[in-house]
Amino acid sequence: MLSMITSDFEVITADVDERAAENRMEEEGVPTLKVSEKLAEIKAEAVFETLTEEEKMNAVVIGADTSVILDDVIYGKPVDREDACRMLSSMSGRTHVVATGVAIIAGTSRKIFTEETLVEFYELDDQQRKTISEYCDSEEPYDKAGSYGIQGKGALLVKKIDGDNSNVVGLPVARLARELENMLK
């Protein structure tokens, strides 16, 4: 997705224990909609700290994290089929928030933001139940927050999206491009 903005990038993963960080944030009372933003910042800082001093002055580090939120509860990756079906059923007929936190570090400059997109699932009727069951029989739900990916067959569950579609995939590309442009002027 980042290649829509630039071809000059390298993917570096951060060695961050996200669950431990989320547990700490819960204890500290961090609002649910800010959890992804904080995780993005932790990831970006972890990568930034691995750079040399020269790299720190010349590189732009972007960290991102996406959460699926319903009723102020973050829906993480499902532990099994039953958990995936439970999550998808509970979101059916309702609107949930997909929040992607993004942290940009460029030298001494920092920009941190959260992009929110509202996603409405179809009602939990017989067709939706069948779609959920068939979807949970595939491999798709098990490595995704909220048990679905809009870029795959999870799109069959979705009635309406209000906001940035790329945000639901995991990176608010248009907003990120604008923030980078403003930051690097």
**What are the residue numbers of the active site?**
65
Can you tell me whether residue 179 is helix, strand or coil? helix
Q: How many other CB atoms are found less than 10 A from the CB of residue 25? A: 17
Q: Give yes or no for a contact between 98 and 119, defined as CB atoms under 8 angstroms apart.
A: yes
Distance of CA 61 to CAs 14, 64, 81, 97, 98, Å?
Answer: 11, 10, 36, 26, 23
